[in-house]
Amino acid sequence: MDPFVSALEELAEALLAGEDAEGALQDIAQEHELPAPALRNRALRAFGPLETYKQRQAEMKKERDQTARRRDPVFAGASFLAAVASLNPRLSIEDRRAEIERLAAEYDVDPAAHKEAIDRLRRR
């Protein structure tokens, strides 16, 4: 197996964990007995800019989640209600309503279709 594969996997994990890109790259290269510049070049080709890897992965996950919700309206509704349930109970009525509207847009659901469930959540 290519020694760079396991090193790149380890580097991806380190970047997702929020470690410093340059420090993690140096440590992993040394651990796998690879030249750091070679590992950096392979990582740049595989991942793109290392400094923004974590952010780009989070954005891609968000896009995948949104696509899954668009394909399945039941999943979208359940995700929306879960997000509404986790709202801060100390929000004012206006702030809560605004946040529900924002979440409805994010989850691509009609809040009126979930009014009854939202009202039950509020009574808790």
Q: Which single residue is written with the structure tokens 């109970």?
A: 89
* Residue type present at position 43: A
Query: How confident is the model at residue 47, as a pLDDT?
Result: 94
User: Per the domain annotation, does 61 fall within a domain?
Assistant: no
Taking the CA atoms of residue 11, residue 16, residue 22 and residue 24 in that order, the dihedral angle to the nearest 10 degrees is -50
Residue 62 resides in a domain: no
Mean of the per-residue pLDDT values of the chain = 91
For residue 124, pLDDT beyond 60: no
Host domain of residue 85: 72-123
pLDDT digits (tens, 9 = 90+) for 4-62: 999 999 999 999 999 999 999 999 999 999 999 999 999 999 999 999 999 999 999 98
Q: Is residue 65 part of a domain?
A: no
Report the number of distinct structural domains present in the chain: 2
Longest dimension (CA), the chain: 61
Contacts of 93 by beta carbon, 8 Å cutoff, 6+ apart: none
In a domain, 110, yes or no: yes
pTM, whole model, 2 decimals? 0.61
